[in-house]
A and B are shown apart, each in its own frame.
Chain A
Amino acid sequence: MEPQSGPGARSSPTADETALDSVQFGEDIRHLISVPTENASSFTALLELPPNQAVELLHSPESTRPDSSQQQQYQPPQHFNAGLLTFPTNAALIERAAKFSVFAAEEDLNNNNNGIASPETNSAPSNSSAGLVVKTEPAEPVAYLNSSSVASDPTVATKDENQRPNNKRKEREKKGKGSSKKSKSAANENSEQLPYVHVRARRGQATDSHSLAERARREKINARMKLLQELVPGCNKISGTALVLDEIINHVQSLQRQVEVLSMKLAAVNPRIDFNLDNMLAAESGSLMDSNFPAVMMPIMWPEVQPNGSRQQYHQQQWNFDVVPQPAGGGWGREDGHNFITPENSLLSYVSSANSASLNSSQLKMEL
């Protein structure tokens, strides 16, 4: 191409250069051809090793490779070697990269890319093909980034050798390095967030913040629902939100109806009970100093109380007798059975406290 375009005097050095380039490319390509054959095994061996050792091996690749003679034959000049050695200086990053599965997958992908790229060069080891390789590589910048970021791949070194004559390539590589560093820092940030995400989301669950919040909300609801299920009798064997809700609704309704019925019952009984209650209240308000009844009300009450005062004591004592046997044959405790959360002893304690309260009131009554 070039000889035809330019004049003869000027074209000859460029032709020589291209010839030299082609020779070098050919060497590189031969090297490329030779490398992947045992590269696969060495690479897998590298993968098996812990990341530290792998990096060490990469720093001295000649010692590990069996074809070190061939390698030395095509070894690049010292300045480039130094440049190559400076490439994996961010070993900490590489180590961190090797720890994460994401990068491991990228390594695999990278390996595959190299495997694809090498047959290409294998099929046509000519200048044009080399140019094609050079040109096709930037076409897939992601793969290139990966190859530059993941230095544990030995073929990267060969690639670098491949790109040696091209200064533009180097610059681009540097750019790529910069961008890869950026991307890596982003990836590290992501990986710092990863553990939290893994705690929250199990396999197959979404990990964005909205679904996390939604899941947390649902878990909260479920936990409370479970508590309610334990509370409501006959509900702990039922599964399914709708049925549990049904039971809860029934329970609440039955409780409200019970309140209604009981208040009706209390209203329907002999009105003297209300006097009894009033007396009890008077007694308690006498015992409790925090009663905010005006003293004016007391005289109003007394005349009502006085007529059946003699009987009241009897009633109060009767109350005591009545309250005691309740836990034995008590309808409430038996109805709820084991589902009632409050233990039996609390009921008993309540009974005893009620007992003492009524006793207290009766004593106060006697004093009165």
Chain B
Amino acid sequence: MRPPPNSSTFKREFVKKWLLALQLCNHNNNINKNDVVKRKDTIKLSAEIAMASVRNGATCWSRALMAKHSSSFHVTTKPHHMPPPPPPRHYKKRVRCKKIIKRSRRCCHNRSAAAAVVRRKTAVLRKLVPGGELMDDEASLIRETLDYVMSLRAQVDVMRRLARASDCVAMCNIV
């Protein structure tokens, strides 16, 4: 079992994998050092890949993220540099009882206002969380969101520290 996303081991592992991914992106893309947007994209991509690889298929969102990036990543990288991402799982719509669905529809119809708002927001959340469209029940979606939020926090924390450090370095350079 991978460490939970809020632990420091997660952050350390994330830093390691991020640097690995960054290295790969830098050396395989051979991007122009002055193109800021491309650099930013590379940094972001590598950070996302690192975040997903730290969770390493333990959760749906990391698998989805890997699957999403693997197509754009495999073009540029040699396949044996990064561990190949796990093959994207074949998601099929879960068959649920017709009676329940009917009843829930009826329920939605009865108090349509509140339910419609909740449904709309759930759809928005589905789009935000990677791989959320493939999860059809809300319980797993919320679980994934929990995990994703924790990982994002760790990522933001690490990046912020790095930015701060780089700022300091820049300041020192100026001084």
Contacts and interface: CB of A to CB of B under 8 A. Distances in A.
Interface of A: 210, 213-214, 217, 220-221, 224-225, 227-228, 231-232, 241-242, 245-246, 248-249, 251-253, 255-256, 258-260, 262-274, 276-278, 280-281, 284-285, 288, 291-293, 297, 300, 314-315, 318-319, 322-323, 326, 331-332, 341-342, 346-347, 349-350, 353-354, 357
Contact of B43 (A266, A284, A323): A266
Contacts of B37: 267
18 contacts: A210-B99, A210-B103, A228-B149, A242-B117, A248-B149, A252-B129, A252-B145, A252-B152, A267-B40, A273-B169, A318-B168, A318-B169, A322-B168, A326-B161, A342-B7, A346-B8, A350-B12, A353-B8
Given A258-B160, A259-B44, 20 more contacts: A213-B97, A224-B142, A228-B142, A228-B145, A231-B149, A249-B128, A253-B128, A262-B156, A264-B40, A265-B166, A266-B163, A268-B40, A270-B170, A277-B19, A278-B26, A319-B169, A332-B156, A341-B6, A350-B8, A354-B11
Given A262-B159, A263-B44, A263-B47, A245 B122 contact: yes
Interface in B109-149: 114, 117-118, 121-122, 124-125, 128-129, 137-139, 142-143, 145-146, 148-149
Interface string B4-37: 0011100110011001101100110000010011
B152 A255 contact: yes
Interface of B: 6-8, 11-12, 15-16, 19-20, 22-23, 26-27, 33, 36-37, 39-40, 42-44, 47-48, 80-81, 97, 99-100, 103-104, 114, 117-118, 121-122, 124-125, 128-129, 137-139, 142-143, 145-146, 148-150, 152-153, 155-157, 159-170, 172-173
Nearest to A288: B16
Contacts of A347: 8
A293 B22 CA distance: 13
B11 A276 contact: no
Interface SS, B side: helix
Nearest to B42: A267
A259 B152 contact: yes
A242 B156 contact: no
Given A231-B146, A248-B145, A353-B8, A318 B125 contact: no
A351 to B, nearest CB: 8
A217 B172 CA distance: 56
A255 B164 contact: no
A252 B128 contact: yes
Nearest to A314: B172
Given A213-B100, A228-B142, A251 B149 contact: yes
A255 B143 CA distance: 17
Contacts of B7: 342, 346
A277 B39 CA distance: 14
Contact of A267 (B43, B138, B165, B167): B43
Contacts of B42: 267
B8 A228 contact: no
Given A221-B138, A346-B8, A354-B12, A274 B128 contact: no
A349 B11 CA distance: 11
A281 B22 contact: yes
B23 A281 contact: yes
Contact of A332 (B44, B121, B149, B160): B160
Contacts of B36: 264, 267-268
Most buried by B among A252, A260, A349: A252
Nearest to B155: A259
Most buried by B among A220, A277, A347, A357: A277
Contacts of B143: 224
Given A214-B103, A252-B148, A293-B23, A318 B159 contact: no
